């Protein structure tokens, strides 16, 4: 074990310990330990894994602090792995010298505007555990190519940039679980211009990652306008923020001319809310959104645009009674096709933040089925359908609030629609009568007015 104190590091929070720590990494046996103390560094601790060999860096159970007072990452791991995670693709020197570089039990604090926490590239099985990373730019920055990344039980808190940043990376098999990722201005977990497969984001608390001065913010952002992200889950997390301009809790951005760029994802069993848009899905394919508790989408609980093959349902869209204020919580499906919404409740109990025509808007869509949904306290119209075809609304309960004089009808269907079926619903009466669907557009069978 290489104790950095044995190589001259003082850990007094004043003297520059960079050179001593570099010697400990280079000359030690790969197990580098920081005893309790505050260790000042002024340049990145560069670890070329092929040269240094297997390495684990530990901070004595979190009692050691690294003060990064220079630009760049406090720890920079660089490996040589350049292919996939298939056993035949991992060269023997990687298994012998580079696998599973581990950093755990440390606090990393930024003391420079361009200071980062950890950067990893070309690493096989990098493992980051029990870390506190704060006041840096980016907390954990994954770049170029990594494989089988684990980030667990970390506090990534109050950073100027991104909490966990997957930046132009070719990365398969990543687990991010059990972390607090909060108050990072440019996003909690952000992916840009990458090729990502098999990404699991589970059991994290991802909160308040926003910038009130920015044009847009997101706690979780997959930007696939240049790149792809497919095959993964966002499950069992709490993801919440405050209303910000252009803000979203979870935002997927695909490319309209490449509808397969982002998708094959399950968003399930999360608590999501307190943002302008809770879920913002653009040009996605094969996304399942189910079993979530969604609250206070100040403008939209869900916005899905140019998406295909969406499975939505059994979500609750409501509010937290402890939080005051208005919230619109509208659901919008725009220019989507092959959508199945089954079950769930949309319950409006507060005045709307913005004026809307309907609780659910279906516009420019094809092959949409909405079944078993309850819309309680509908806004103006429960469901408004426009310029859409092959739409089925069945077994739903759609009612306005008893004292809401702005409520007009449970269902509004424009003449630009075709091939509609409205069957076996409980529809609340409004000023427009039973429903607003011209008879020539389709069938209305077995509905009851209440």
Instruction: Quote the pLDDT of residue 130.
Output: 98
Instruction: Quote the pLDDT of residue 432.
Output: 65
CA 116 → CA 165, 215, 428, 436, distances in Å?
A: 11, 23, 56, 57
Burial of 171 from C-beta contacts in 10 A (0-12 / 13-18 / 19+): buried
Let me know if residue 97 belongs to a domain. yes
d(CA 391, CA 403): 30
For tokens 């840096």, what's the residue?
A: 136
The answer to whether 275 and 252 have CB atoms below 8 angstroms apart is no
- Tell me the residue length of the chain: 450
d(CA 201, CA 199): 7
Let me know if residue 380 belongs to a domain. no
Let me know if residue 282 belongs to a domain. no
Instruction: Quote the pLDDT of residue 85.
Output: 66
Cα Rg, the chain, nearest whole Å: 26
Residue 311 has which token pair? 């499975």
Instruction: Quote the pLDDT of residue 92.
Output: 78
Q: By three-state DSSP, how is residue 246 classified?
A: coil
Number of domains in the chain: 1
For residue 195, what are the domain limits?
Answer: 1-209
Let me know if residue 169 belongs to a domain. yes
The answer to whether 359 and 381 have CB atoms below 8 angstroms apart is yes
Let me know if residue 400 belongs to a domain. no
Please tell me the number of Cα atoms within 13 Å of 322 on its side-chain side.
0
Let me know if residue 156 belongs to a domain. yes
Let me know if residue 198 belongs to a domain. yes
Q: By three-state DSSP, how is residue 136 classified?
A: coil
Can you give the CATH number for the domain in which 202 is found? 2.160.20.10
Instruction: Quote the pLDDT of residue 341.
Output: 98
Helices within 172-259 (DSSP H only): none
d(CA 260, CA 228): 8
Pairing of strands 37-41, 72-78: unpaired
Residue 226 has which token pair? 């240049």
CA 362 → CA 65, 192, 248, 337, 384, distances in Å?
A: 53, 30, 20, 10, 6
Please tell me the number of Cα atoms within 13 Å of 6 on its side-chain side.
9
d(CA 176, CA 169): 16
d(CA 184, CA 154): 14
Let me know if residue 383 belongs to a domain. no
d(CA 196, CA 201): 13
Instruction: Quote the pLDDT of residue 442.
Output: 73
d(CA 320, CA 98): 48
Q: Tens-digit pLDDT profile for the chain (450 aa)? A: 899 999 999 999 999 999 999 999 998 888 999 999 999 999 999 999 988 889 999 999 999 999 999 999 999 999 877 766 667 776 777 777 789 999 999 999 999 999 999 999 999 899 999 999 999 999 999 999 898 999 999 999 999 999 999 999 999 899 999 999 999 999 999 999 999 999 999 999 999 999 999 999 999 999 999 999 999 999 999 999 999 999 999 999 998 877 789 999 999 999 999 999 999 999 999 999 999 999 999 999 999 999 999 999 999 999 888 888 899 999 999 999 999 999 999 999 889 999 999 999 999 999 999 999 999 999 999 999 999 999 999 999 999 998 888 999 999 999 899 999 999 999 998 876 656 776 666 778 888 888
Instruction: Quote the pLDDT of residue 371.
Output: 98
d(CA 154, CA 181): 8
């Amino acid at each position: 074990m290489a104790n950095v104190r044995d190589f001259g590091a003082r850990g007094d929070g004043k003297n520059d310990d960079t050179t001593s720590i570099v010697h400990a990494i280079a000359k030690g046996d790969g197990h580098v330990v920081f005893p309790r103390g505050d260790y000042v560094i002024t340049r990145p601790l560069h670890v070329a894994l092929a040269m240094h060999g297997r390495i684990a860096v530990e901070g004595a159970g979190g009692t050691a602090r690294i003060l990064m007072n220079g630009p760049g990452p406090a720890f920079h791991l660089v490996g040589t792995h350049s292919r996939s995670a298939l056993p035949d693709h991992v060269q023997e020197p990687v298994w012998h010298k580079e696998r599973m570089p581990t950093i755990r039990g440390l606090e990393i604090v930024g003391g420079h505007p361009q200071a980062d926490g950890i950067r990893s590239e070309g690493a096989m099985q990098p493992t980051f555990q029990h870390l506190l990373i704060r006041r840096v730019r980016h907390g954990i920055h994954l770049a170029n190519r990594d494989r089988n990344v684990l980030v667990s039980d970390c506090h990534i808190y109050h950073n100027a940039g991104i909490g966990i940043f997957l930046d132009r990376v070719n990365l398969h098999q990543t687990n991010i679980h059990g972390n607090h990722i909060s108050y990072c201005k440019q996003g909690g977990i952000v992916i840009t211009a990458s090729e990502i497969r098999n990404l699991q984001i589970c059991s994290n608390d991802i909160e308040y990652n926003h910038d009130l001065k920015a044009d847009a913010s997101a706690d979780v952002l997959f930007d696939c306008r240049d790149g792809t992200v497919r095959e993964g889950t966002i499950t069992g997390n709490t993801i919440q923020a405050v209303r910000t301009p252009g803000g979203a809790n979870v935002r997927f951005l695909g490319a309209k001319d490449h509808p397969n760029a982002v998708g094959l994802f399950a968003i399930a069993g999360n608590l999501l809310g307190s943002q302008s848009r809770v879920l913002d899905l653009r040009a996605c394919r094969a996304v399942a959104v189910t079993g979530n508790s969604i609250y206070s989408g100040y403008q939209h609980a869900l916005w899905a645009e140019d998406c295909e093959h969406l499975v939505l349902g059994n979500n609750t869209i409501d509010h937290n009674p402890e939080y005051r204020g208005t919230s619109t919580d509208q659901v919008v499906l725009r220019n989507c096709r092959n959508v199945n919404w089954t079950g769930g409740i949309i319950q409006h109990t507060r005045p709307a933040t913005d004026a809307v025509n309907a609780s659910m808007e279906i516009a420019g869509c094809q092959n949409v089925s909405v079944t078993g949904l309850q819309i309680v306290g509908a806004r103006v119209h429960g469901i408004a359908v426009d310029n859409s075809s092959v739409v089925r609304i069945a077994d739903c309960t759609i009612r306005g609030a008893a004292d809401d004089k702005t409520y007009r009808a449970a269902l509004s269907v424009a003449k630009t629609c075709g091939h509609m079926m409205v069957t076996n619903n409980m529809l609340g009466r409004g000023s427009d009568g039973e429903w607003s669907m011209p008879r020539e557009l389709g069938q209305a069978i077995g509905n009851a007015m209440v």
